[in-house]
Amino acid sequence: MKELFKKLDVGDKIELTINNKKEVGILLESHEPGILLLKLENGYNIGLKKEDISKIKILEKKKKDNKENKEEREFKMSGQKPIIDFYLTGGTISSKLDPKTGAVKWLINSKELFNIYPEIFQIADIRVKSPFMKASENMDSSDWIKIAKLVGKSLNDKNVKGVIISHGTDFLHYTASALSFMLGKLNKPVVLTYSQRSSDRGSSDSRLNLVCAAYTALSDIAKVLVVGHANINDEYCYVLQGNKCRKMHSSRRDAFRPINCRPIAKIFPDGKIELIRNDFNKRYKEKGKIKVDAVFDNKIALVKFYPGQDPNILEHYLKKGYKGIVVEMSGLGHVLSQGKNNWIHKLKKVIKKGLFVYAAPQTIYGRLDPYVYSPGRKLQEIGVVFLNDILSETAFVKLGWVLGHKIWRGSVATKMKMLENINGEFNEKLGKEFLE
């Protein structure tokens, strides 16, 4: 057995037998002498004691990196297909397996993207750009601004038909919301896409998502969009409005769902598009170049109200120089309105001192309504502004963007802008279909 271990190379596909149970996977680099590390076919890594292994079978040797059997293909622009600008910003979809460690590492150029996802290069000439590579939980407003400015240049390039942005899933909807305000009315599609599972896994969602994203980028839907699996199968993707969707599952491939609205369209891997809605700007309807409005004031906060919460947290934000907060309220727009921790008294105080306070729903679906119960009416009387059916994350992003403009920082001007339906963040009506 020891001699067989010596014949193994990192990257070999092997079959192991342990207690009459077989495990198949790719051999990874291990720093513990007595442990063999294996990446299973389901994408997970396991460590196995060598002493427990009764049999080893080499199924496939790692292909050596030489000119004769090198798998990598050179990428070349055809000059005949429509051009899509592709921005790699991070996330699972922008990474590849490192066979030594079993972890993933970032893609960095067109060649690497081409060798993993050649399908999308059949659809269009892809120009790959990488302003930065980050997990989405590490991104902030400065990254949104950078993306917006770069995407704006692509949209104003007459040779570019559309834009794709690969992004991590965790905070993708924040970036999509930010771009919906910073880019305004579009002349071409801007498509954010993602994957929940890495490209080396058989169940990866990356290929379908990317192919559908590419076709969406060539469509007439001129809006900031999110494209990803519509269900757990590989049938088609949904085209979602970027500021009206959110990640609704931690691991499923159909993680992103529309909130308080229907998807814009279904898009299939052959490029067929089935429109579900038509309330979007059409390609080239906006004549001339778009104007990028990429500003943001970080002195804002998103506060989730919970039972018994001490309202002194509001004083904290005021003392720290925050200009505005979004309070994620329960039900139709409720906070603690009795006893020593009465939020209404504290909210009245901080609003008088100049803190802008906006209410967003804590529920996923539905809208706020301050007129149903008296505490809601009281909140409105003291100056809390209710933001209808907006997603709390979208409300947070919108407030930062609004306050990034000096001319809108007055209480009246800020309120007017926050209540303005700038890019479809509010629904005028909610039908029964919003839960589907």
- Beta strands, E only, 271-370: 273-275, 300-304, 324-329, 356-361
CATH number of 188's domain: 3.40.50.1170
Crossing angle for the helix pair 392-403 and 172-182, to the nearest 10 degrees:
40
> Closest Cα to residue 18, out of 63, 48, 62, 59?
48
CA distance 208 to 235: 8
Q: Which residues contact 310 (CB under 8 A, 6 or more apart)?
A: 341
Are residues 181 and 228 both part of a single domain?
Answer: yes
In a domain, 68, yes or no: no
Count other Cβ atoms within 10 Å, centred on residue 303: 19
Specify whether 261 is located in the same domain as 353: no
CB 326 within 8 A of CB 418: no
Would you give the DSSP letter of residue 282?
B
97 with 208, same domain: the answer is yes
Residue 176 included in any domain = yes
How many independent structural domains does the chain possess? 3
Looking at residue 63, what is its pLDDT?
A: 67
Return the residue matching tokens 């570019």.
160
Classify residue 31: in a domain, yes or no. yes
The residues annotated with a catalytic role in the active site are 92, 169-170, 247
pLDDT of 231: 93
Contact 206, 92 (CB under 8 A): yes
Distance CA 163, CA 332 (A): 38
Residue 87 shares a structural domain with residue 48: no
State the DSSP code for 252: -
Give the model's pLDDT for residue 68: 37
Question: Are 144 and 177 in a shared domain?
Answer: yes
**Same domain for 113 and 257:** yes
On whether both 93 and 229 belong to a single domain, the answer is: yes
**The pLDDT value given to residue 3:** 72
Same domain, 125 and 267: yes
Assess whether 240 and 330 both reside in one domain: no
Q: What is the pLDDT of residues 177-220, one digit of tens each?
A: 999 999 999 999 999 999 887 666 666 778 899 999 999 999 99
d(CA 77, CA 54): 51
Q: What pLDDT sits at residue 26?
A: 83
- pLDDT given for residue 69 in this prediction: 37
What residues in the chain have per-residue pLDDT under 70? 1, 31, 42-44, 63-75, 97-106, 108-110, 198-203, 285-287, 431-436
CB 26 within 8 A of CB 43: no
Residues 193 and 267 in one domain: yes
Helices assigned H by DSSP within 298-391: 313-319, 343-352, 374-381
Tell me the pLDDT tens digit for each residue of 288-324: 789 999 999 999 999 999 999 999 999 999 999 999 9
Which residues form the domain of 145? Answer: 83-275
User: Does residue 137 sit within a domain?
Assistant: yes
* Residue-level pLDDT at 29: 73
Here the tokens at position 50 are 């060598």
Helix (H, G, I), strand (E, B) or coil at 238: strand
Residue 4: its H or E element: helix 2-7
333 domain-assigned: yes
Beta-bridge partner residues of 227: 193, 239
Residue 48: the pLDDT is 85
14 and 106 share one domain: no
In a domain, 338, yes or no: yes
Is 153 inside any structural domain? Answer: yes
Q: How many CB atoms lie within 10 A of CB 353?
A: 11
198 in any annotated domain: yes
CATH code for the domain of 307: 3.40.50.40
Q: Same domain for 157 and 234?
A: yes
CATH of the domain at 51: 2.30.30.520
Could you tell me how far CA 184 lies from the centroid of its own chain? 19
